[in-house]
Amino acid sequence: MGYIHLTYLHLLTVVPAFIIGTYLLLKRKGTPKHKALGKIYMVLMLITAIISLFMPAQLGSTFLNHFGYIHLLSLLTLYAVPAAYFYIKKGNIRGHKRSMIILYCGGILVAGTFALMPGRLLNTWLFI
């Protein structure tokens, strides 16, 4: 699968994850709706991270001729999602909350900011 196709798949998962994640951060926690949307959000974030690992870095230095610094955020996501899940299953609300905030900030906000930087594909689609 080519880079453009992976980009479309990535956007198809990360855009709804951004919307759901924002909603979850702003609304009341622990409700049945929160739990249902949280599961969807976590699955979307896992899929997003996995897809991103197949997308070669387009800017900056690379590792193994493929991975860039932005891929570290994919690894963060692959750690934070199961951590948040196991924390909440054990009743550790503080750990769950911390993992979810790190996931949202690193996996969506920071990664999204990097994706919008000049020279990146998303920047050219939106601003040029």
What does the domain layout of the chain look like in residue ranges?
A: 3-127
pLDDT at site 113: 92
Classified as helix, coil or strand, 85 is helix
pLDDT at site 102: 97
d(CA 2, CA 12): 16
State if pTM tops 0.95: no
pLDDT at site 65: 87
d(CA 14, CA 122): 13
Nearest to 19 by CA among 41, 39, 35, 2: 41
Per-residue pLDDT of the chain (128 residues; tens, 9 = 90+): 899 999 999 999 999 999 999 999 999 999 999 999 999 999 999 999 999 999 998 877 889 989 999 999 999 999 999 999 999 999 999 999 999 999 999 999 999 999 888 888 888 998 87
| Residue 53: count of CB within 10 angstroms of its CB | 15
CB 13 within 8 A of CB 47: yes
Torsion region of 63: left, alpha or beta (phi above 0 gives left; psi -120 to 50 gives alpha): beta
* Chain centre distance of CA 36: 18
With b for 16 or more beta-carbon neighbours within 10 A and e for fewer, the 36-47 pattern comes to ebbeebbebbbb
pLDDT at site 120: 86
**Dihedrals phi, psi of 65, to nearest 5 degrees:** 55, 25
Structure tokens at 30: 């622990």
